[in-house]
Structure 1
Amino acid sequence: MERAVTYKNNGQINIILNGQKQVLVDADSEAEYLEALQKNEAKHSILREIEREMNSLVGMDEMKRNIKEIYAWIFVNQKRQEQGLKVGKQALHMMFKGNPGTGKTTVARLVGKLFFEMNVLSKGHLIEAERGDLVGEYIGHTAQKTRDLIKKSLGGILFIDEAYSLARGGEKDFGKEAIDTLVKNTV
């Protein structure tokens, strides 16, 4: 189900991304105008780069809007922190749903790149995993395999392809242990 972005959110994003308009309009000379324009563009260059890459993907309009909203939220919080103001806390865990070949892994890589460039992640790498990478063969093995994978992905993104398969085996399946370990160890 597609969620409409409210005008309030659009306005907030526009204020952030076009925040230099007043400075640009009030500039006394063309040189000042161009300098202010370049500073504003440089400030948001990572978003522009991610947008270019996202635009090469067909569809995903809601995801493209969400990327802008996430960028704006992070940007505002960074500016608030610079000013010594209270910063909002938000878990940035995401779930991508779609048929095979629709770009879920590509989007996860782009999110990792965005978060790395904005200093949200220290490395920005992507670790791809599937059920076999998380689920062990005996009691206790699953938790250790899952913790090792989480540790390997620290500073980056852990992308679990077909994560639903962890829950398919029922209560006695080791997939449940993997889910429990993931929930317990994610911040």
Structure 2
Amino acid sequence: MNDQVKRDKQAVIDAVVGGDLDSLAPALKRLSGSSPYDFVVATEALLNTEQREQHLTLGVYIGSSHMPDFFHAEGVVYGAIYVDGSPFCKRACPVGTGLPIAEVRVIVEAARQEYDNSVLERVTKLKEQFEQMDRLLAGHSFADSKLVSLAHVELVKGQALLVAALTPAAIPAHQNK
């Protein structure tokens, strides 16, 4: 994890610990730009109200090897701090002012929607780029037209598959979470 990702992730944690609802959305936006993976992990942790208080520290426990950055209690999301618990375990404890889960949910869902829309927008713009490439390749002095045609078909298929993968209506209801 590079330094920018660490700073962006810490900004999300700091917003929750400090109870600063206004800085949560911008922090999530920065994190989505620097590390989409960490953005997904952070937003899932912010919304996952199933609180485990004991976390195994020896080896990898089933489900995840990561101790969450957030602690949920009585409708509030706090930062999480870990202290020694039973042997080979750490006990999660809340830290900071925290934020009401209902308000966090609104911000997180809006941040996810904004990110999802930006990804879909980029994927749909691929079609325009493919059309431009077709025009450019038509004038290329020694391009093999059969290979160009085959590449075009594969690129269009790939773009269509990406659009289908990113469009919730295309996902069967039992798989759409």
| TM-score, scaled to structure 1 | 0.26
- Tell me: higher relative CO, structure 1 or 2? Use CA pairs within 8 A at least 6 residues apart: 2
Structure label with greater radius of gyration: 2
